[in-house]
């Protein structure tokens, strides 16, 4: 339902997987959206159908450099989120996380806007606590190949809470667990997109370790609903708040489900587990339930079906990547 108040909303990383879904949700809610992206992992195709809207504006910009904007709300999603992409240029990944947070906080302080930080379950590292609660401080290797992302996001959280203490900035911090759906990058190295594209192409499906490590998968529309509820919550609800699906499964089981749903005859093959790859990852979402009245609604079979349909169109060369991909499948 459209909002009664039209807000001016800035979305960094707005041409990415989550960002593009958020932009269309905000437009549907009746807001003006300024989408900022440098297209390192985002794609113009993700937002192509939004460009004609008089309430949507696109700006090519790298958030590691300052930005001036007059807005009511800021969603800071800018940062490569898959190991393949963030390890490609780890120094720039750190700059995006840290300097991007500083620049968005500066806008929020000047304008009085609420500012939302898309943090990550990677702040927990390879956890000793299961499921992960927001008060768990994590088990992160600050020197490993994943540290540019893990520690960059941890530092960004520090900046957000120090900004609130020092300047009274209106902050919102969520920690995102594994999310999937239409518009995932086909070559981002994440298990859902990997398994689906490998199955559809008839390639071997690659499992790392013995496939017993667990993940919990949240469909993209559920995640975006959590974002909006967090932003709309009272100012004293700052987070951090875990957003994700609390029902975990081994990655081998995910691969087997993808094989069944695609009808693929791909084989499962095993490779060594990457350094610092978590063996368990599952959120405790009690805080999200209490504070936001939020929990995932889309089941894994349904969500995988929608995502497979998207990748079938993408791999077949169909250029139609519309805002209604998920809605049509549902």
Active site residues: 149
Q: Which helix (H) or strand (E) holds 87?
A: none
Spatial CA neighbour of 80 closest among 151, 13, 133, 157: 13
Question: If you ran DSSP here, which 8-state letter would residue 272 be given?
Answer: P
Ranges of H-type helices in 65-205: 83-86, 90-111, 147-167, 191-201
Contact 113, 8 (CB under 8 A): no
Count of C-beta atoms within a 10 Å radius of residue 263? 8
For residue 99, cis peptide bond before it (omega within 30 degrees of 0):
no
How, if at all, do strands 214-216 and 248-250 pair?
Answer: antiparallel
Residue 87, classified by CB atoms within 10 Å of its CB into exposed (0-12), middle (13-18) or buried (19+), is middle
Asked, as a colleague might, if the bond just before 240 is cis with ω within 30 of 0, I would say: yes
Residue whose tokens read 């169109």: 313
Contact present, 258 and 191 (Cβ < 8 Å): no
Concatenated DSSP letters of 145-164 = TTHHHHHHHHHHHHHHHHHH
């Amino acid at each position: 339902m459209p909002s009664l108040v039209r807000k001016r909303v800035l979305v960094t990383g707005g041409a990415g997987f989550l960002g593009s879904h958020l932009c269309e949700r905000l437009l549907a809610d009746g807001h003006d959206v300024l989408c900022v992206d440098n297209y390192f992992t985002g794609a113009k195709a993700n937002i192509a159908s939004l460009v004609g809207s008089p309430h949507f504006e696109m700006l090519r910009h790298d958030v590691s450099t300052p930005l001036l904007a007059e807005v009511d709300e800021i969603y800071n999603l800018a940062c490569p989120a898959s190991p393949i992409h963030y390890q490609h240029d780890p120094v720039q990944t750190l700059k995006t996380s840290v300097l991007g947070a500083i620049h968005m906080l500066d806008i929020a302080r000047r304008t009085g806007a609420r500012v939302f930080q898309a943090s990550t379950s990677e702040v927990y590292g390879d956890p000793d606590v299961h499921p992960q609660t927001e008060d768990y401080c994590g088990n992160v290797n600050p020197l490993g190949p994943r540290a540019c992302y893990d520690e960059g996001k941890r530092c960004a959280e520090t900046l957000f809470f120090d900004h609130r203490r020092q300047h009274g900035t209106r902050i919102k911090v969520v920690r995102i667990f594994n999310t999937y759906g239409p518009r995932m990058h086909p070559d981002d190295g994440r298990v859902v997109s990997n398994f689906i594209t490998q199955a559809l192409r008839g390639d071997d499906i690659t499992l790392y370790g013995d496939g017993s490590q667990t993940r919990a998968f949240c469909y993209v529309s559920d995640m975006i609903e959590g974002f909006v509820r967090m932003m709309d919550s009272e100012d004293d609800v700052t987070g951090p708040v875990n957003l994700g699906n609390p029902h975990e499964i081994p990655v081998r089981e995910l691969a087997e489900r993808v094989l069944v749903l695609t009808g693929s005859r791909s084989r499962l093959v095993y490779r060594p587990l990457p350094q610092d790859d978590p063996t368990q990852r599952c959120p405790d979402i009690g805080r999200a339930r209490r504070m936001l009245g939020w929990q995932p609604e889309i089941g894994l079979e349904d969500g995988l079906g929608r995502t497979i349909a998207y990748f079938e169109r993408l791999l077949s060369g169909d250029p139609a990547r519309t805002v209604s991909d998920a809605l049509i499948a549902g």
